[in-house]
Structure 1
Amino acid sequence: MKQHILFDFDGTLVDSAPVILSCFSRALEVHGLQARTPIVASLIGPPLRQTLATLSGSDDGALLDALVATFKDVYDSEACLETPAYAGCQQALEQLREQGFSLAIATNKRLLPTQRIIAALGWQALFSAVYASDSYPERYTDKAGMIAALLEDGGIAAQAAIYIGDTAADGRAAAANGVEFWPVAWGYGQFASHEQPLLAPQQWLERLVRA
């Protein structure tokens, strides 16, 4: 049986879209910019700077630095604390822990807001590790590298782990490490019907027990 369950965060455990999208709009507004592409939930997932470059249509380093700083100021201070968990996630996570599974997070979100949301939800004791986009910038630049670092540091064999996420990019990152991927039916990505995304968090434990 798999013993190590790794999770994406935004779109998988928490519904961060409304707050994040509002902060994207605010950051652009502060700098007198209009979005070059619709500000929709599918933007959530890639690193912050990459998304702001897409929204602003700019590759100007100074402008992107300013946009990132404004976003962080608005989001990290209080806005992130308004992020709710998806229905059923807390109970499912607690059940997994009670059954002896090791839980960890690998997210393209930055570490500070991730930790603040986890604390606000009272989830600190549920996860043995939280790896974010900026946790170890000298070690990885993408989620595949992040998962590799998490596995290495935890002494986790790829065949003993599962990665649960809401986007195809999550699946590719897991596959790059030889880790089984379970897609969820909610969140901000889309999957083909044959990929059989999980319909509710309660299915995590049910599927693990059957495996």
Structure 2
Amino acid sequence: MIEKLSKYIPENAVELVNEILLNHPISIKIVNERATKHGDFKRNINNKFQITINNNLNQYQFLLTLIHEIAHFVTFKQYVRVKPHGIEWKRNFQHLMLPFISPAIFPQNLLPLLANYIKNPKASTGSDVKLTYALKQYDENSGKSFIFELQHGSIFLFKDKTFKKGNKRRTRYECVEMNSKRTYLFNQNAEVETL
């Protein structure tokens, strides 16, 4: 398993990940990009557990997603029925992630953001705009931009529909779909194609 994963994670993280997987053996499948999630943890029909992770993630996002999903597995083994991202999962994620918060594994600019994130981790790293933006800097150029980077009134493409960026509410942007004239709320770190 670790041989397959080693090309997706930072070199200095391989030994730590291998140690975790020896203590918590689970099937890990690397899959094509899914628009709605980076990874997931599930129990299959035959009662076997599996983690899936998108193959298009940069090595730092991949590692963070892997540990996130392993924490679900560890939490399930300990408690069976708890909230998916409740206090039990948060503690397991923190415990598993802490050894990776090192300049030998993550670039210096990510370390304070990761340290802040694991204080109270959320269901998605995407909920932390600063961390998401910093991680995105290590992606291969996808030609996409975050919506918060666009000027007010900019026209953009999202899921084959054309939108115009409007006003910001607390954490989301009002955007008008050009054909229907309906207003949609976009997360500030939604990735869109500029026109």
The two structures have a TM-score, normalised by structure 1, of 0.30
TM-score, normalisation: structure 2? 0.32
The structure in which a higher percent of residues are helix is 1
Structure scoring higher RCO (CA < 8 A, sep ≥ 6) equals: 1
Bigger Rg, which one: 2
Q: More strand by proportion, 1 or 2?
A: 2
